[in-house]
Amino acid sequence: MASNRKVMVLPGDGIGTEVMQANMKIIDWLAKHRSLDFDLSEGLVGGASYDAHGTPLTDEVLADCVASDAVLFGAVGGPQYDNLAFDLKPERGLLTLRKEMDLFANLRPALVFPALVDASTLKREVVSGLDIMILRELCGGSYFAEPRGIDDLGDGIRKGYDTNAYTTPEIERIGRVGIDLARKRHGRLTSVEKANVMHSGVLWREVMTELHAAEGNGIELSHMYADNCAMQLVRSPKQFDVIVTDNLFGDLLSDCAAMLTGSLGMLPSASLGEQDPDTGLPKAMYEPVHGSAPDIAGQDLANPLAQFMSFSMMLRYSFDQAAEADLLDQAVNDALSKKRTGDIMAAGCEQTGTDGMTAAVIDALDHLAR
């Protein structure tokens, strides 16, 4: 059936290809049982694209992504690419997509499923019921700001440098998303920087404060230094509702938050841009926070749940299918009570692989749809 939901699928490398294959089974289920169709195209990215075309992202695939309503992304990278030039590394494909599509708002929800409270390395009472949202700025700061590079200073000395620069509009637009998210959740926004040592942090705090005064009616804004935030995330993570922070701090803090949920294999993400004036949809890419995990790739060991939940975020944020997104999230939760991949294995559960976990989610969907 023809569909006006144009989705570009980029499995990438390593376990990215496996969890994406698993995701296709969920898509098939929705087509069959919910008449929810997608116009799917598939492309290469990362190491797979480098192997085929000598670049981690071709202009054609980038153009297809820009022309789609949403991009569903797996993972990129692998040790065989470690010695490639900076611009040819698999990660560059991902970063180019983020930058070229201007996906500045990266939503990383860390949610502890009841079934998984004991999978976390933290005590049950610290993580049980946890539901926080890390909002990471994704197009600026030390990932992209100029100047950056490695210079030869002569006498055998070289200098490598990146710049953590943010302009007021860049801070404002991510701050606005933060306020909006806090409004839809529990009304609390924590803005995270290092205003004690960084000029970019001083400006970040100033702009957030002004924006909040102008547009944050009813939202409680607080400020926190990034190092303290890392500590608070493992000490008492339930104090947070929405955390808004820059690109680099967001990268670090979201890995930290992932482990509260039990495994990096449980954290989905949505990367959103401005609304397209024609479709009314935000430019969007959905990807699990985990990487390509080359050490377990190809062995039917990968946890596909972060990929499924990223797809669920796509249903919610790009296609306004909240009921289907809720259904899938519920099925993920239900499946966890029966089967577990190795990363979240617990006593009394049956250990399974990517295929088995996928089958358990499909089973749960069947059950819920009855």
- The footprint of Mg ion (CB under 5 A) covers 251
Residue 94, binding choice from Mg ion, ligand IPM, none, Cβ under 5 to 8 Å by partner class: ligand IPM
94 binds ligand IPM (CB under 6 A): yes
Q: How far, in Å, CA of 262 to CA of 343, rounded? A: 8
Per-residue mark of binding to ligand IPM, 104-133 (x: CB under 6 A): ------------------------------
**Binder among 37, 39, 51, 91 for ligand IPM (CB under 6 A):** 91
Closest separation in Å from C-beta 337 to ligand IPM: 29
Q: How far, in Å, CA of 211 to CA of 208, rounded? A: 5
Q: Which stretch binds ligand IPM (CB under 6 A): 87-95, 204-212, 348-356, 362-370?
A: 87-95
Q: Looking at beta carbons, which residue is closest to Mg ion?
A: 251
Active site residue 317: no
Q: How far, in Å, CA of 8 to CA of 309, rounded? A: 17
Active site residue 255: yes
Closest separation in Å from C-beta 338 to ligand IPM: 30
Per-residue mark of binding to ligand IPM, 173-202 (x: CB under 6 A): ------------------------------
Per-residue mark of binding to ligand IPM, 249-278 (x: CB under 6 A): --x---------------------------
The site for ligand IPM, by CB under 6 A, has a size of: 6
Contact 263, 303 (CB under 8 A): yes
Q: How far, in Å, CA of 319 to CA of 84, rounded? A: 38
Report CA-CA distances (Å) from 175 to 179, 181, 196, 249, 323. Answer: 6, 10, 20, 15, 28
- What is the spatial order of strands in the sheet that 70-75 belongs to? 39-42, 6-12, 70-75, 282-286, 270-275, 105-111, 131-137, 242-245, 188-193, 220-225
Dihedral angle over CA of 343, 250, 50, 291, nearest 10: 0
Place of tokens 């499909």: 362
Cis peptide before 294 (omega within 30 of 0): no
Catalytic residues: 143, 194, 227, 251, 255
Which residues are near ligand IPM by CB under 6 A? 91, 94-95, 251, 289, 291
